[in-house]
């Protein structure tokens, strides 16, 4: 269980969930109607299970107004009758123009039964300008050095959701995201796994696989190698045409001791025209 909820795996897993919380605007149907507007607000709640047992929730909220965005994510995990606890709270904000999201500030705080920490970042013109991590990542010859070039043109884990929402084509799974989380520079690479039918007459799911590709700021060793080799996150998207969105229906995050599954419980979407879309599982 400790491997399943290591801080590194938790950051990557929650980052992946956050990246999907708005998902991708339909590149074919919506493009024909002109450039779509950003939804004013999206709120989603996911139930978290591990090997079939309920262990927590993940709540996501996005607000976009007057060219500015604010995103938040809150994860609460409790397992083994409360013996293992983990909480992660993420906040980020920045500017959005057309299809481009430009982060300004990012904050991540986490705590568990054994440890706690935080990350703060500020951005300037698309480049990381300042970083504060507590506890700091210790210097080590085993650490792959972070270079200045690695801090240019990157997104924090939550801001990347806005980059995902304007794919270059009609396939929401054809994406490569350059991420810096304040400690580590990595890419999240998405590929398509096809289409599945939803239970009943509720349409189809678009299924993507997301892979982790470490670049710098990580310690060479077995854990990183295992993550790069085995962390194949599967994300099933449910189209919501009335809101011009794909939203994640289910997210599967593998570990060496089982799978963590995040399943959509409810979502509320407020469009820029103040139309409300809501559904619950």
Domain assignments of the chain as residue spans, ordered by start: 7-270
Q: What confidence score (pLDDT) does residue 201 get?
A: 61
Q: What confidence score (pLDDT) does residue 277 get?
A: 73
Q: How far is CA 109 from CA 47, 119, 278, in A?
A: 20, 7, 29
- At 15, phi and psi to the nearest 5? -60, -40
Instruction: Work out the pLDDT band at 187, boundaries 50, 70, 90.
Output: very high
More confident residue, 203 or 279: 203
Tens-place pLDDT, residues 205-233: 889 999 989 999 988 887 788 778 877 88
DSSP state of 198: P
Tens-place pLDDT, residues 69-86: 999 999 999 987 778 889
In the chain, the percentage of residues whose pLDDT exceeds 90 is 37
- Average confidence (pLDDT) over 256-267: 88
Give this prediction's pTM: 0.82
In the chain, the percentage of residues whose pLDDT exceeds 70 is 80
């Amino acid at each position: 269980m400790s491997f399943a909820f290591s801080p590194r795996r938790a950051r990557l897993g929650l980052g992946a969930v956050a990246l999907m919380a708005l998902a991708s605007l339909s590149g074919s149907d919506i493009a024909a109607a002109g450039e779509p507007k950003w939804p004013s607000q999206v709120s989603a709640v996911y139930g978290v299970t591990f090997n079939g047992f309920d262990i927590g929730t993940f709540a996501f909220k996005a607000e976009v107004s007057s060219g500015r965005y604010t995103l938040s994510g809150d994860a609460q995990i409790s397992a083994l009758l409360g013996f293992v606890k983990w909480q992660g709270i993420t906040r980020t904000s920045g500017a959005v123009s057309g299809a481009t999201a430009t982060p300004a500030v990012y904050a991540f705080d986490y705590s568990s039964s054994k440890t706690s920490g935080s990350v703060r970042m500020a951005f300037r013109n698309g480049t990381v300008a300042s970083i504060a991590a507590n506890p700091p990542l210790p210097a080590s010859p085993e650490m792959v050095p972070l270079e200045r070039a690695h801090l240019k043109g990157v997104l924090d884990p939550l801001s990347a959701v806005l980059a995902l929402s304007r794919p270059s084509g009609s396939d929401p799974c054809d994406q490569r995201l350059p991420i810096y989380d304040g400690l580590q520079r990595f890419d999240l690479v998405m590929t398509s796994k096809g289409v599945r039918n939803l239970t009943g007459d509720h349409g189809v799911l678009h299924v993507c696989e997301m892979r982790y590709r470490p670049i710098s700021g990580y310690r060479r060793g077995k854990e990183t190698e295992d993550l790069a080799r085995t962390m194949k996150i599967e994300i099933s998207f449910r189209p919501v045409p009335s809101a011009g969105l794909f939203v994640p229906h289910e997210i599967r995050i593998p570990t060496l001791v089982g799978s963590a599954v995040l399943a959509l419980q409810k979502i509320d979407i407020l469009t820029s025209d103040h139309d409300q879309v809501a559904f619950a599982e």
